[in-house]
Structure 1
Amino acid sequence: MNASKREAIDRLLKMVFRATGLVTIGLLGGIFFMLLFNSIAFFAKGNPIDFFTGSQWNPGSDAGNYSILPLLASTGFVALGSMMIAVPLGIFTATFLSELAPDTLRTILKPVIEMLAAIPSVAIGFLGIVLVGPAIARVFGIQNGLNALNGSILLAIMALPTIITISEDAISAVPKTYKEASLALGANKWATLFQVTLPAALPGLIAAVMLGLGRALGETMTVLMATGNAAALPKGFLDSIRTITATIAIEMGEVPYQTTHYFALFAIAVVLFIITLLINLLGEFFANRLRKFHA
């Protein structure tokens, strides 16, 4: 193949890759502006102050209460609870795989952990109904276990593969010279791990947490099945909740077209879109810091 043909192929491939990237950006922008356009129609009819500060989401009432606050609080409850479980478990598991596990055990555990991401969310939600929920009800002596705690446990399971995989990569990327220098100065294995290795991998660990949190915030079917779907301000993890994603999934299929209720669902979708986008951007920021740090 002569030089002119290679140059022509290179230009063609560059154009294809550039077009693919632009299409992806265009699709993302189109989705956002579609959500934004419909949410503006809601704010033109409703009161934005009530939307963000009210205490009820009750479209079926005579007054038509459309407040995102109980949905946002429910989403925050279940996401925070899932991270309280998944972050320490995920980081310690990643540390074990990277620094302590024998090679044979590592080759077995890594594929098993990654396979967790392939389990359908509806299957995890079903386990929450038949196993986790009844167990919570027995332990805490409550009527049923369909509450924020149930959703937090299930979302933690779903976020673990993301957190473990990215954390393990971040810990493995710490240069061996750091560890060797620490050991040479007289630090033992555990001091080196907690005072050198993990702090050096901190940008990657933060990226893992951010991306795991984004995974938890965007989940729909699991929280729809396992949290009770009560659209009220939660007071604790044993209260039934309804997240933003579950509300959209439940109500969008039956809401009359171009009504206030219809546009209100787009408004809460925009809020969720912005929150998830910011979290993913933070995750990418810290991941890029890790790559530059070890470049």
Structure 2
Amino acid sequence: MLEMNKMQQRLLHPSKATRQDRFGKTISLICIGFIMILTVSIIGFIAIHGLATFFENHVSVMQFIFSSNWNPGQLGKNGQPQVGAFAMIVASFAVTLLAAILATPFAIAVALYMTELAPKRGAKMLQPVIELLVGIPSVVYGFIGLVVIVPAIRSVFGGTGFGILAGSIVLFVMILPTITSLTIDSLQQVPDHYRKASLALGATKWQTIYKVILRAALPGILTAIVFGMARAFGEALAVQMVIGNAALTPTSLTSPTATLTSQLTSQMGDTIMGTLPNNALWSLALVLLIMSVIFNLLIKVVGKRGEMKK
């Protein structure tokens, strides 16, 4: 009976620690709810305005994706709106893939040096350099690309110097620290007994790195690459400064073109809310949102399959 009374007293008059726990859980739930509402609101806002191009302005999805005619302010010869995002979609993927192809070997090499080969002093010297690259604003990268990379491409390949190649080089430098940092984390998660077992069997240092460590860390490295591609795909300002901002299907790496993000940032301020040109830009934003979701799903799939058992 006495024990029952004590239990009732605890329920009716919880201790200070219990009250703090309940307060903390309540605050956490409120924050989680706020984040969920904010995320759903952003997705809903973009979806409503992005789908207006297809439902209100009667533009077909196939025309939007596979047509290269982009001039939302005027009607074509057939009387249909000229809302074709194919050129910008191709340019976005081309810039992203080329930047990832350029950055991945350098990122893996730096990560291997810092985790497997470099002395502690060397690793400590490289770490601030990587962190410094992360902290440089996008406009600085774009300005350097504008005054250094574009003239260099112009002098070597001719033309204006603007295009996919210039954008890819700028993005290569921008995503390099992201891929490098995540690759370092992935290599550090490889258990030490993998290395010791390989060396004990007579493998050389390079054989251990190539056939054991890299293979064990491969899912994490792929996740790092996808993270870098996600950042490159959504980068706007730096790419806008060096790609040329011409909504044309690229015919070469040095021909001016435009990505989804560069078109958005350069034209959104010149349109009126609710008009076809504005809705078309929101449709581009919807494509970016869908690609962001796809990148996140890829990261989850690769990360889940690559969970390392220690």
1:1-295 to structure 2, matched below 5 A, reads: 4-44=15-55, 45=57, 46-63=59-76, 64-140=81-157, 142-290=158-306, 292-294=307-309
Relative to 1, partners in 2 of residues 1:115 and 1:281: Cα closer, same or farther, differing over 3 Å? farther
Cα separation, 2, equivalents of 1:42 and 1:83: 32
Tell me the SS of whatever aligns to 1:59: strand
Cα separation, 2, equivalents of 1:127 and 1:270: 30
TM-score, normalization by structure 1: 0.95
What is the Cα deviation at residue 3 of structure 1? 7.4
Cα separation, 1, equivalents of 2:99 and 2:187: 22
Question: Is residue 131–residue 177 contact of structure 2 (8 Å, CA) maintained in 1?
Answer: yes
Cα separation, 1, equivalents of 2:300 and 2:181: 15
What is the Cα deviation at residue 53 of structure 1? 1.5
Cα separation, 1, equivalents of 2:163 and 2:309: 43
Cα separation, 2, equivalents of 1:3 and 1:207: 46
What is the Cα deviation at residue 288 of structure 1? 4.8
Tell me the SS of whatever aligns to 2:270: coil
User: Identity of aligned pairs, percent?
Assistant: 36
Cα separation, 2, equivalents of 1:114 and 1:288: 27
Tell me the SS of whatever aligns to 2:153: helix
Report the AA paired with residue 224 of structure 1: Q
Tell me the SS of whatever aligns to 2:75: coil
- CA deviations on 1:49-97 (whole Å, 9 max, x unpaired) are 2111212212243323111111100101111110111111111111111
- CA deviations on 1:69-127 (whole Å, 9 max, x unpaired) are 11100101111110111111111111111111111111111111111111111111000
Report the AA paired with residue 291 of structure 2: I
Question: Is residue 78–residue 148 contact of structure 1 (8 Å, CA) maintained in 2?
Answer: yes
Aligned to 2:10: none
Report the AA paired with residue 308 of structure 2: F
Q: Which moved more, 1:277-286 or 1:185-194?
A: 277-286
Count of aligned pairs: 292
Cα separation, 2, equivalents of 1:171 and 1:225: 35
Question: Is residue 195–residue 208 contact of structure 2 (8 Å, CA) maintained in 1?
Answer: yes
- CA deviations on 1:120-162 (whole Å, 9 max, x unpaired) are 111110001100111111122x132111100001011110111
Name stretches of at least 5 consecutive residues in structure 1 with no aligned partner: none
In terms of Rg, which structure is larger?
A: 2
Cα separation, 1, equivalents of 2:283 and 2:299: 25
Cα separation, 2, equivalents of 1:289 and 1:22: 30
Question: Is residue 163–residue 243 contact of structure 2 (8 Å, CA) maintained in 1?
Answer: yes
Question: Is residue 183–residue 220 contact of structure 2 (8 Å, CA) maintained in 1?
Answer: yes
Question: Is residue 70–residue 83 contact of structure 2 (8 Å, CA) maintained in 1?
Answer: yes
TM-score, normalization by structure 2: 0.90
Cα separation, 1, equivalents of 2:100 and 2:170: 11
Cα separation, 2, equivalents of 1:198 and 1:17: 39
Question: Is residue 246–residue 257 contact of structure 2 (8 Å, CA) maintained in 1?
Answer: yes
Question: Is residue 99–residue 172 contact of structure 2 (8 Å, CA) maintained in 1?
Answer: yes
Tell me the SS of whatever aligns to 2:269: coil
Name stretches of at least 5 consecutive residues in structure 2 with no aligned partner: 1-12
What is the Cα deviation at residue 39 of structure 1? 1.8
Cα separation, 1, equivalents of 2:248 and 2:50: 22
Tell me the SS of whatever aligns to 1:252: helix
